[in-house]
């Protein structure tokens, strides 16, 4: 009898953060930062069969195990500052059998709308997509400075913000894809579905002390 294919969550968490040292284990609203993503995955057991943390750090590993995740020890060769996330994902996938789908949960995006994963996975499955990611509409006016002159990119001078052509940014809340893509060194294909998320949580992406303080404010105000 063949083994059923699984959907797993992967949370990549290095220990070598430069701008905010040890950020993945800092307490955010009373929980280690990485624990927020682990607990989110574990609340979605109807979708996610197993939760994996990829790390090169013993303190992160200890916390991940305490919160019920499985840990894949990340080799030093793929743990550097410039190493892309795909390296860690591929390493995990190559060490697990019978996986069909992967859900990437970045620890730096610690809070997500409660029903987001269910909505995203339903769209991914029923639309027969090979990958999906979350995006949020941008409402800012962007431009370049060339030879000391400002050149608008997405608007005309004097144009109202509410009249801008819709542009979107990749908010990092979650990614879903077939493992075949990961093995080809890709997370998203050219036909990946962009799921629009308009929520205060999509503005959180922790990389600095100021980001962390903003996340604490948002969590205490909006997250139950």
- Answer whether residue 140 is part of any domain: no
- Answer whether residue 48 is part of any domain: yes
* pLDDT for residue 92: 98
- Asked if 41 contacts 105 with a C-beta cutoff of 8 angstroms, the reply is yes
pLDDT at 136 over 70: yes
- Answer whether residue 153 is part of any domain: no
- Answer whether residue 1 is part of any domain: no
* pLDDT above 90 coverage of the chain, percent: 88
- Answer whether residue 197 is part of any domain: yes
* pLDDT for residue 193: 98
CATH of the domain at 204: 3.90.550.10
pLDDT at 2 over 70: no
Output 106 or 157, whichever has higher pLDDT: 106
Taking the alpha carbons at both ends of the chain, their separation in whole angstroms is 43
- Answer whether residue 154 is part of any domain: no
Per-residue confidence at 1, pLDDT binned at 50, 70, 90? Answer: low
Per-residue confidence at 17, pLDDT binned at 50, 70, 90? Answer: confident
Q: How many domains does the chain have?
A: 1
Residues of the domain holding 60: 6-135+169-222
- Answer whether residue 193 is part of any domain: yes
* pLDDT for residue 18: 84
pLDDT at 39 over 90: yes
Query: Average pLDDT, stretch 192-207?
Result: 97
- Answer whether residue 159 is part of any domain: no
């Amino acid at each position: 009898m063949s083994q059923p294919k699984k959907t797993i969550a992967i949370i990549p968490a290095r220990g070598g953060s430069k701008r905010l040292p040890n950020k993945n284990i800092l307490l955010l609203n009373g929980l280690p930062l990485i624990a927020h993503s682990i607990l989110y995955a574990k609340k979605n057991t109807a979708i996610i069969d197993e939760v994996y943390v990829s790390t090169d750090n013993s303190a992160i590993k200890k916390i991940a195990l305490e919160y019920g995740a499985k840990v894949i020890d990340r080799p030093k060769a793929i743990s550097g500052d410039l190493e892309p996330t795909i390296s860690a994902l591929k390493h995990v996938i190559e060490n697990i059998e019978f996986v069909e789908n992967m859900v990437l949960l970045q620890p730096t995006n610690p809070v997500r709308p409660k029903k987001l994963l269910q909505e995203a996975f339903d769209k991914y499955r029923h639309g027969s997509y090979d990958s999906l990611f979350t995006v949020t509409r941008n409402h800012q006016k962007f431009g370049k400075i060339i030879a000391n002159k400002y050149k608008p990119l997405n608007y005309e001078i004097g144009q109202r913000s509410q009249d801008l052509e819709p542009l979107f940014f990749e908010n990092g809340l979650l990614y879903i894809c077939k493992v075949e893509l990961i093995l080809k060194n890709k997370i998203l294909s050219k036909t990946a579905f962009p799921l629009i998320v308009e929520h205060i949580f999509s503005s959180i992406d922790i990389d600095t002390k100021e980001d962390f303080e903003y996340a604490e404010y948002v969590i205490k105000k909006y997250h139950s």
